[in-house]
Amino acid sequence: MPEAALPPAAAELPAQHLCASADLAERGQARVFDLLLYGAPARGFALRFDGRVVGYVNRCVHVPTEMDWQEGQFLDMDRRWILCSIHGAAYEPADGRCAGGPCGRGKLTAITLQERDGQVYWYPSRDIRPVSFDAPPSESAPA
C-alpha cells in the first residue's frame, strides 16, 4: 500500500508509534490512545476503513463525550458509520463528517496517521499532543 503524504506541519513533528498495522482489522475494533487536546486529557482512536487507517479525537461534535460503546467499538452494527453511543450521531469514517443525527454539519477532529514498514504512527499537531507519562509531577515552589 503506498504511503500517504503528510501535511507539511505534521512532517516536522515527531511521529508517535501507535500499533502494528496488522492490529487494525478492516472495519474492526479501533485502537484507542491517550493524548492532550488543547492541554487537557482526551483520547483518540484509529481504525481501518476501506483499506485506509483513519484517526480522530474520541469526542462527539454534538456533546463533547467519548463515543465508543465499549472501548474501541465505534462502528454501527452494519460497520458503515462511526456512531456516538450516547445520542446516535453518525459520522463518515473516511473524513469524519456528520452523516446523520444531532451532529448537524459538524466534523470529528482528525488525527494525522501514517502507515509505514508494517506500523501505524500518529503525528501531533499544535492542538493535539502526546501525553508524557514519564514526566515527574510538578511541585509548587515554597513561599
Query: What CATH number corresponds to the domain at position 76?
Result: 2.102.10.10
For the chain (length 143 residues), average pLDDT per consecutive 10? 50 85 98 96 97 97 92 96 94 97 94 97 96 61 46
Residue 121 lies inside a defined structural domain of this protein: yes
Residue 111 lies inside a defined structural domain of this protein: yes
Residue 106 lies inside a defined structural domain of this protein: yes
CA distances from 113 to 73, 87, 143 (A): 19, 27, 45
Residue 134 lies inside a defined structural domain of this protein: no
Residue 124 lies inside a defined structural domain of this protein: yes
Structural domain count, the chain: 1
Report the distance separating Cα 20 and Cα 131, nearest Å: 20
Report the distance separating Cα 78 and Cα 62, nearest Å: 22
Q: How many other CB atoms sit within 10 Å of the CB of residue 55? A: 25
What's the pTM?
Answer: 0.84
Full domain range(s) for residue 41: 8-129
Residue 139 lies inside a defined structural domain of this protein: no
Residue 87 lies inside a defined structural domain of this protein: yes
